[in-house]
């Protein structure tokens, strides 16, 4: 094995994050069930078993929508960064809520002794050729399997074992699963319940998720423009005082990779903009306790050489810097990870 | 994110948004007033709604 397993490192922030998330999930599920019972016409109150399916189903859909929105929202505004910090735990909770929804559906059929109906629905090949009438339970089951894979591989062990790039690529399956989840609702609940509430709510929630992603992608695209090149192939970053102390300026190398040039008082250091943990945007972080700190999960690296402080062993590629004609310039060719390359100005 | 992921991410969301918008619109326009399927009619006719007492099994 190329990676060793370490149990989740708990701290106060993670405990508070999880406690608040669990409380909100519990309040939503019970609030939903009680509100639906109370709002039903006299004598037509839905059964608790039906309500449980709806409550956990809508809760899972909302949770996954929120989880998918946190990333782009954090790119659009740093105010959302605290939500990103422990997003993986929220993802595992979303899988558990979705699994309870699936179990509740199964239980509904078990109570009626009609489990074969589910099997018939999923295995009726003819229905897969239909649009309206497509086996929506099969879509839901497929989404649940994808969510399980996401949750099961969410631990840092899998990320190290698979490498951050491969791990990220696998976890991008959540996008496709979300699209299928929308269709699971559109071909299921939306067809059974003719009220306008379902399509309107579905369009608002899914539309918002898509909108924030497209807005963040549009904003990101502007950062892909190559920086101003000098005659000898270096990139002009700007005057030293233009880089805010304890912060960075991000420039784009000709190949499209981004470089974060940090300033810590008189010391300037350039590292790759991609964190070794999850490729988080280091340049949007800041210097804390003398270390470059990733805005996503707080991983730290020394400005001098891009190495994580002991006992951690992560290393970032660094870049050579120089001061010429009153401007900081960076060589776009990366040095081997961990190579000292900081520039100290007097 | 590194460049390939940024590009894949951008394209994935544009494609996903278009596909889901088409699927959702089709599902919306083909929606018909509530008509229970044979399975649904059978199950609901054969078995009364489950009460909270029945669930305590």
> Who has greater pLDDT, B43 or A218?
A218
Residue A7 binned pLDDT confidence (cut-offs 50, 70, 90): low
By Cβ distance, the residue of B2, B34, B47 closest to A257 is: B2
3-state helix, strand, coil in chain B (%, to 5): 70, 0, 30
pLDDT of B52 over the 90 cut: no
Degrees (nearest 5) of the Cα angle A337, A8, A314? 5
Which ranges in chain A belong to alpha helices (H)?
A: 12-39, 48-76, 81-85, 87-111, 115-123, 136-152, 156-162, 164-171, 173-187, 189-192, 197-221
pLDDT value at residue B40 = 59
CA-nearest residue to B49 within chain A is A47
CA-nearest residue to A118 within chain B is B39
CA-nearest residue to A218 within chain B is B10
From chain A, the residues in CB contact with B8 under 8 A are 169, 172
CB of A213 within 8 Å of a chain B CB? The answer is yes
Q: Which residue has the tokens 């405990």?
A: A15
pLDDT of A60 over the 90 cut: yes
CB of B11 within 8 Å of a chain A CB? The answer is no
Q: What average pLDDT does the segment A213-223 reach?
A: 85
CA dist A311 → A9, A13, A108, A233, A301 (Å): 15, 22, 52, 37, 12
CB spacing of B13 vs A165 below 8 angstroms? no
Q: What is the pLDDT of residues B5-45, one digit of tens each?
A: 778 888 889 999 999 999 999 999 998 876 555 555 655 55
Please report the ipTM that was assigned to this predicted complex.
Answer: 0.77
| B23, A186 contact by CB (below 8 A) | yes
Strand partners, A250: A260
CB spacing of A210 vs B33 below 8 angstroms? no
């Amino acid at each position: 094995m190329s990676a060793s397993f370490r149990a989740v490192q708990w701290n106060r922030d993670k405990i508070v994050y999880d406690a608040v998330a669990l409380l909100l999930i519990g309040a939503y599920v019970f609030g939903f069930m009680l509100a639906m019972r109370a709002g039903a016409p006299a004598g037509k109150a839905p059964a608790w078993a039906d309500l449980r399916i709806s409550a956990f189903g809508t809760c899972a859909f909302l949770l996954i929508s929120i989880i998918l929105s946190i990333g782009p929202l954090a790119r659009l505004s740093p105010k959302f960064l605290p939500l990103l910090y422990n997003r993986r735990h929220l993802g595992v909770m979303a899988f558990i809520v979705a699994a309870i929804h699936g179990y509740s559906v199964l239980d509904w059929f078990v109570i009626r002794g009609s489990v074969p109906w589910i099997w018939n629905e999923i295995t009726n090949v003819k229905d897969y050729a239909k649009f309206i009438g497509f086996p929506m339970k099969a879509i839901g089951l497929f989404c649940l399997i994808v969510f399980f894979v996401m949750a099961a591989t969410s631990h840092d062990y899998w990320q190290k074992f698979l490498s951050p790039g491969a791990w990220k690529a696998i976890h991008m399956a959540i996008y496709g699963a979300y699209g299928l989840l929308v269709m699971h609702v559109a071909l299921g609940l939306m067809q059974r319940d003719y009220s306008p509430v379902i399509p309107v709510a579905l369009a608002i929630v899914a539309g918002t998720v898509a909108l924030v992603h497209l807005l963040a992608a549009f904003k990101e695209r502007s950062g892909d423009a190559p920086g101003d090149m000098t005659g000898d192939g270096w990139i002009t970053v700007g005057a030293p005082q233009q880089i805010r102390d304890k912060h960075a300026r991000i420039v784009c190398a000709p190949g499209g990779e981004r470089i974060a040039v940090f300033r810590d008082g008189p010391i300037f250091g350039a590292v790759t903009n991609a964190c070794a943990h999850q490729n988080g945007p280091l340049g949007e972080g800041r210097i804390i306790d003398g270390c470059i700190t990733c805005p996503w999960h707080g991983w730290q690296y020394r400005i001098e050489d891009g190495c994580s402080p002991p006992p951690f062993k992560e290393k970032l590629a660094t870049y050579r810097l120089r001061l010429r004609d009153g401007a900081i310039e960076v060589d776009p060719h990366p040095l081997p990870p961990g190579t000292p390359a900081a520039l100290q100005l007097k | 994110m590194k460049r390939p992921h940024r590009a894949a991410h951008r394209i994935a969301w544009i494609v996903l948004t278009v596909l889901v918008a088409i699927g959702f619109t089709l599902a919306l326009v083909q929606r018909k007033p509530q008509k229970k399927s044979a399975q649904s009619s059978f199950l609901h006719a054969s078995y009364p709604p489950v009460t909270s007492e029945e669930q305590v099994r």
